[in-house]
Amino acid sequence: MNILIVGSGGREHAIAASVVKSSHADKIYCAPGNAGIAKIAECVPIGAMEFEKLAAFAKEKNVGFTIVGMDDPLVGGIVDVFEKEGLTIFGPRKNAAILEGSKAFSKDLMKKYNIPTAAYETFDDSHKALEYIDTAKLPIVLKADGLALGKGVLICNTLEEAKAGVKEIMEDKKFGSAGNHMVIEEFMTGREVSVLSFVDGKTIQIMSSAQDHKRAKDGDLGLNTGGMGTFSPSPFYTKEVDAFCKEHIYQKTVDAMAAEGREFKGIIFFGLMLTEDGPKVLEYNARFGDPEAQVVLPRMKNDVIEVMQACVDGRLDQLKLEFEENAAVCVVLASDGYPLSYEKGFEIFGEETFDDKDGYYCFHAGTKKNEDGKIVTNGGRVLGITAKGADLKEARANAYAAADWISFENKYMRHDIGKAIDEA
């Protein structure tokens, strides 16, 4: 059947690369896509938030299955629009995507169903939030309630910073309407792990674990970004951690959503922190991580369409997810200056080196083809270079070797992606 993928980043390129291998995929479309996705799918210039146009396109092209990579369209209700038109689509409906769309909702859900997370309070009035801060323990974490491109989280070490943060979020609306409500929560310490899962409303199946590197600079310094690199599996995600999360977090979350009348189908991404008191949920996302997808999907043995179709049909219990017994590392090549200001439009060289190499992937994020037909940089995160290896160390060495195959004028990357592997 024909497949439509909605999104334009490295995650959607990784999804497309898995879909290409599916025995159920005929023609693949991606809206809007990017220059890398265009090599394996037909990119169509429709924005991810143009639900009616996307649905009309899916009907016109006889698309049998649509996959949504991004959070905004899911939270905005793309799944409801497609379903109303009788189209099959993979992802949570609007009333379930709220698991990512509202931090206040997800914190209240965890509290109500006793799912371990940081202690917190929610506020819709800045004065009350400021009063609370006067009595709270430092450091303290402030979160704008809604989607804020991963930037709506402030970790404040002093009272002054925290007060300024509340004003920025709730009064100056630095993150827009995401700041109409906010969550103030306890600061936790520990190692972070990303666990992605497939969910069919009742059953949940966990994918291989991963770890992201969110800060821009080596040594976890610099500003928060969308993610500068990942590795999978995480050696810190032990059997004990897995057993704890299976008992206290995963199924409980799926059951809680169902009990609330918000049946969740699609991907739940658990952002976990492994604290001294055990694993706790930092956040939920309702989609694949970016760049987690770039290290998890290439290691999945199943036919991705079969798994997603089983989620839509509510028969995930009949399937067994299988991952290769190896490892993968993704190093993001960014434009120097990201996440603040950076130049773009530079020609990218060296991509063809990946063409004949198994286990190496050059996933495009911010790229485009210019008027001369050349592939140029077109965003902050430009490429995600993924390599597999027999183990994490080999995968890391391979990924960094492959990162050197690419050149463009203001290429920037972290040099310590996967450094934590040495401490495992």
Q: For binding to ligand AMP (CB under 6 A), which residues are involved?
A: 118, 141, 143, 150, 153, 155, 185-188, 192, 214, 271, 282-283
Burial label for 40, CB within 10 Å (0-12, 13-18, 19+), is: middle
Smallest gap from residue 191 Cβ to ligand GLY (A): 15
Asked whether the beta carbons of 303 and 337 are under 8 A apart, the reply is no
Q: What minimum distance in Å lies between the beta carbon of 200 and ligand GLY?
A: 22
- Residue 285 binds: one of ligand AMP, ligand GLY, none (C-beta under 5 to 8 A by kind): ligand GLY
Q: Cβ closer to ligand AMP: 65 or 231?
A: 231
**Shortest approach of ligand AMP to residue 418 CB, angstroms?**
17
Q: Which residue is nearest to ligand AMP (CB)?
A: 283
Q: What is the Cα–Cα distance from 393 to 172, expressed in whole angstroms?
A: 45
Say if residues 186 and 110 touch (Cβ distance below 8 Å): no
Ramachandran region, residue 49 (left: φ > 0; alpha: ψ -120 to 50; beta: rest): alpha
User: Between 36 and 289, whose beta carbon lies closer to ligand GLY?
Assistant: 289
Other beta carbons within 10 Å of 189: 9
Asked if 101 and 37 touch (Cβ cutoff 8 Å), the reply is: no
Q: How far is the CB of 285 from ligand GLY (least distance, A)?
A: 5
* Max CA separation in the chain (angstroms): 61
Smaller CB distance to ligand GLY: residue 12 or 290? Answer: 290
User: CB of 152: closest distance to ligand AMP in angstroms?
Assistant: 7
| Residue 292 binds: one of ligand GLY, ligand AMP, none (C-beta under 5 to 8 A by kind) | ligand GLY
DSSP secondary structure string for all residues of 289-346: -TTTHHHHGGGB-S-HHHHHHHHHHT-GGG----B-SSEEEEEEEEETTTTS-----P
Residue 100 binds what, of ligand GLY, ligand AMP, none (CB under 5 to 8 Å, by partner type)? none
- Contact partner, 12, from ligand AMP, ligand GLY, none, Cβ < 5-8 Å per class: none
Partner that binds at residue 290, options ligand GLY, ligand AMP, none, CB closer than 5 to 8 Å by kind: ligand GLY
Q: Which distant-in-sequence residues (6+ apart) come within 8 Å of 36 by Cβ?
A: 13, 362, 363, 364, 367, 375, 383
- Return the number of the residue (166 or 249) whose C-beta is nearest ligand GLY: 249
Smallest distance from the beta carbon of 289 to ligand GLY, in angstroms? 4
22, containing H or E segment: none
Residue 154 pairs in a beta bridge with 142
Q: Which residues contribute to the site for ligand GLY (CB under 6 A)? A: 150, 212, 227, 285, 289-290, 292
